[in-house]
């Protein structure tokens, strides 16, 4: 019985089906909002679904120079790890699988899709892919620092109260803390970390102004240049699911609470909050900025968001 319930969680909610539908809807809403902000009509909200099923029907061409198994396995590995991450993010007190230190595992599993993109691009054997993966790697180096510092700050703050002063990395404990004391972004010491994480999300998701790794105009989409057909569809799906997972994680960390207690209402509430976060962090920045070069990205992330996150860490140590 328990096993059957777990399989249902994996396949339907918050697993495969939810990620698939929710991720593509989120990507569609993002495109529609961007178009409206630029005074265009824009594609319908279901456009990513049409794109996905169209790509599934196209021919998959594997270049002669490519390492075939790595080339074909990379998107699938990325998808599997993204779905596994989504199973661990609690939705306002409902969490199908929760362990002691799931925040760390979530963060580490979130590097696997980026690494899968890198390995896939590398395996394709194209020089454009080579340039693209080195930029993607520098992007990973740049956003790891502020993200990790903000997470350390959150862990220490929640642990001070709920875990006898040692830091805690359990997402369910973070939700419990917010249920008792209000969402984390209302605390003074957490506001710099809030802004830092908000700035980290576009780089992780791969959208302007930090999408140097997949620049369509400069390097013909970088690591994805030799992909076509079903693997390309899965990479685009990964992109959409990453948006959903990152914003869900952000909502759980900063905007969570006790919720209503009914699973359906909680799920819809979390999804609406995800849309709001996508609007503020991804769409607005996409509409009003241009692309940064890779060394500018590194310099930006290692000065401003890092300073904000460090400020948050110091404030937490002072007990605010």
Partner 1 sequence: MTQHLPILAIITLFIGAFIVALIKEKNEVLRNTVVLIATFMSFIFTLMMYKPIIGEGNIITYWMGNWEPVQNWAIGIGLEVDQLSLFFGLFISLSIVLSALYSFKYIEKETGKDKYYVLFLMMSASVMGFIFTGDLFNMYVMIEIMTFASVALTAFRNNKPEAVEAGFKYIAIGSIGSSLILLATVIIYAQFHTLNLAQIAGELHNNYTITTLFALALMVVGYAVKVFAVPTHFVAPDAYMTAPSSISMLFSGIVNKAAVYGILRVLYVVYQSMNLPSVQFMLIFWGTVTMFIGVTMALAQHDFKRLLAFHSISQIGYVITGIGLATALGITGGLYHALNHTLFKGLLFLCAGAVYYATGTTDLDKLGGLAKRMPQTALIFIIGAFSISGIPPFNGFVSKWIIYQASYEAGYAPVTIIALIVSVMTLASFIKVAQSAFFGQLPKEFKNVEEVPLSMRVPMWIMAILCIVGGIFPSSFTKYLITPAANAVMNSAKYVEVMMGPEFASKFYNNLGNAPVIDYKLAGYWQPIAWLILFGILLLAFTLVALLGGFNPKHFSYSDEEDAKYDVFYSGESAEFSHVGGSDLFWGLKYQFRHYFDLMHKIHNGVVNDYALSVVLTAAVVLLYVFTFVR
Q: Tell me which residues in 101-130 interact with partner 1 (CB under 8 A).
A: 101-102, 104-105, 108-109, 111-112, 115, 118-119, 122-130
Task: Work out how close the CB of 125 gets to partner 1 at its nearest, in angstroms, rounded to a whole number.
Answer: 6
Distance between CA atoms of 273 and 244, rounded to whole angstroms? 11
Nearest to 31 by CA among 42, 40, 39: 42
Nearer to partner 1, 79 or 255 (CB): 79
CB of 275 to partner 1, least distance (A): 26
Minimal distance in Å, beta carbon 278 to partner 1? 25
**Which residues sit opposite 91 in a β-bridge?**
94
Which residues between 155 and 194 bind partner 1 (CB under 8 A)? 166-169
How far is CA 313 from its chain centroid?
A: 23
- Length of the chain counted residue by residue: 320
Query: Would you state the structure tokens that stand for residue 142, as one six-digit string?
Result: 């740049």
Closest CB to partner 1 among 217 and 290? 217
Comparison of 102 and 176: residue with beta carbon closer to partner 1: 102
- Considering only residues 74 to 93 of the shown chain, the ones binding partner 1 according to CB under 8 A are 76, 79-80, 83-84, 87
Instruction: For the CB of residue 206, give the shortest distance to partner 1 in the complex, in Å.
Output: 17
Nearest to 26 by CA among 302, 308, 315, 251: 251
Enumerate residues 53-72 that contact partner 1 by CB under 8 A: 56, 59-70, 72
Is there a cis peptide before residue 226, judged by omega within 30 degrees of 0? no
Query: Given 3-state DSSP classes, what are the helix, strand and coil percentages for the chain, each rounded to the nearest 5?
Result: 75, 0, 25
The secondary structure of residue 229, as a DSSP letter, is S
b vs e for 287-303, b when ≥16 Cβ sit within 10 Å of the residue's Cβ? Answer: eeeeebebeebbebbee
Please report, as residue ranges, which positions from 132 to 151 form the binding site for partner 1 (by CB under 8 A): 133-135, 137-138, 140-141, 144-145, 148-149
Q: Which helix (H) or strand (E) holds 233?
A: helix 230-254
Contact between 298 and partner 1 (CB under 8 A)? yes
Residues within window 14-43 making contact with partner 1, judged by CB under 8 A:
16
Tell me how crowded residue 22 is: count the other CB atoms within 10 A of its CB.
23
* Only segment of 100-108, 248-256, 258-266, 279-287 that touches partner 1 (CB under 8 A): 100-108
Among 12, 53, 100, 280, binds partner 1 (CB under 8 A): 100
Residues of this chain, 214-243, that bind partner 1 according to CB under 8 A: 220, 225-226, 229-231
Closest to partner 1 by CB, 86 or 283: 86
């Amino acid at each position: 019985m328990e096993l059957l319930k777990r399989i249902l969680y994996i396949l339907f909610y918050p697993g495969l089906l939810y990620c698939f539908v929710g991720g593509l809807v989120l990507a569609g809403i993002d495109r529609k909002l961007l178009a409206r902000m630029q005074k265009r009509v824009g594609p319908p909200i279901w456009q990513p679904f049409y794109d996905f099923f169209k790509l599934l029907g196209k021919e998959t061409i594997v270049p002669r120079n490519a390492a075939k198994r790595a080339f074909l396995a990379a998107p699938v590995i990325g998808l599997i790890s993204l779905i596994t991450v989504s199973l661990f993010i609690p939705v306002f007190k409902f969490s199908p699988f929760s362990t002691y230190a799931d925040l760390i595992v979530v963060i580490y599993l979130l590097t696997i899709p980026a690494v899968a993109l890198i390995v896939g691009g590398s395996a394709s054997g194209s020089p454009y892919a080579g340039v693209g993966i080195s930029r993607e790697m520098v992007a990973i180096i740049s956003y790891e620092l502020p993200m990790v510092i903000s997470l350390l700050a959150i862990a220490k703050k929640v642990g001070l109260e709920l875990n006898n002063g040692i830091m805690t990395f359990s997402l369910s404990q973070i939700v419990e803390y917010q249920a008792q004391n209000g969402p984390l972004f209302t605390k003074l010491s957490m506001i710099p970390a809030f802004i830092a994480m908000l700035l980290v999300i576009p780089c992780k998701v791969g959208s302007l102004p930090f999408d140097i790794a997949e620049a369509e105009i400069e390097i013909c989409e970088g690591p994805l240049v030799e992909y076509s057909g079903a693997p390309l569809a899965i990479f685009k799906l990964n992109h959409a699911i990453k948006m959903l997972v990152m914003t869900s994680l952000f909502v759980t960390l900063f905007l969570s609470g006790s919720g209503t207690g009914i699973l359906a209402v909680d799920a819809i509430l979390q999804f609406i909050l995800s849309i709001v976060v996508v609007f503020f962090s991804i769409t607005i920045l996409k509409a009003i900025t241009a692309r940064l070069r890779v060394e500018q990205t590194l310099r930006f992330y290692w000065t401003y968001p890092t300073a904000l996150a460090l400020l948050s860490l110091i404030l937490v140590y002072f007990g605010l």
